[in-house]
Every structure is written in structure tokens, then in C-alpha cells.
Amino acid sequence: MIPLNIAGSDVVLRGGRDGVRDLFARRVNGCLVTRWEPTPEELKILNQGGSVELWCAGTRSHPPVALKVAEHEDKQS
């Protein structure tokens, strides 16, 4: 997955090591919202019935999370 710059971003989680990109986020109702785009290979897997995995670093606690689909920002009203 490719992290995208989300419209209205007001938080940047800095990457920089091991090829990790900066992650731009927008605060919405106490949540940080980020946008991701599947690579062509990932999209092919999804179109063939694949699924999305969520990985969280660490094992002591897990924050509440949600995954959803969003239209391209140019198509949102």
C-alpha cells in the first residue's frame, strides 16, 4: 500500500528510515485518518478475491481501528 497525502492533513508522522514514507493524517472526531492506495499488484490480488490485513507494531496493546473504502478525493463532495 502507498500512503497518500490526505486533504486537510494536520499531522505528519515522520518515516525516513528503512524506506518508510512520511504518513500524513487529518484529525476527525478524535481519530487520525490516513489514506492509502493499493499498488497495481495489490489491486490485482484484491480484484481476485484477496483481502486487506492490518498490522500494528507492538503486542502490548491495540488501539481501536477501522478500515473503509473511500472514493478518490476528486470525486468526494
pLDDT at 27: 93
75 pLDDT more than 70: no
Averaged pLDDT for residues 17-24: 82
Q: In what order do the strands lie in the sheet with 23-28?
A: 11-13, 23-28, 31-33
What tens digit of pLDDT does each residue of 31-71 get?
A: 889 999 999 999 999 999 999 998 877 777 767 888 888 88
Q: Which residue has the higher pLDDT, 76 or 31?
A: 31
pLDDT score of 37: 92
Q: pTM, whole model, 2 decimals?
A: 0.75
Q: List CB contacts of 50: < 8 A, sequence separation 6 or more.
A: 42
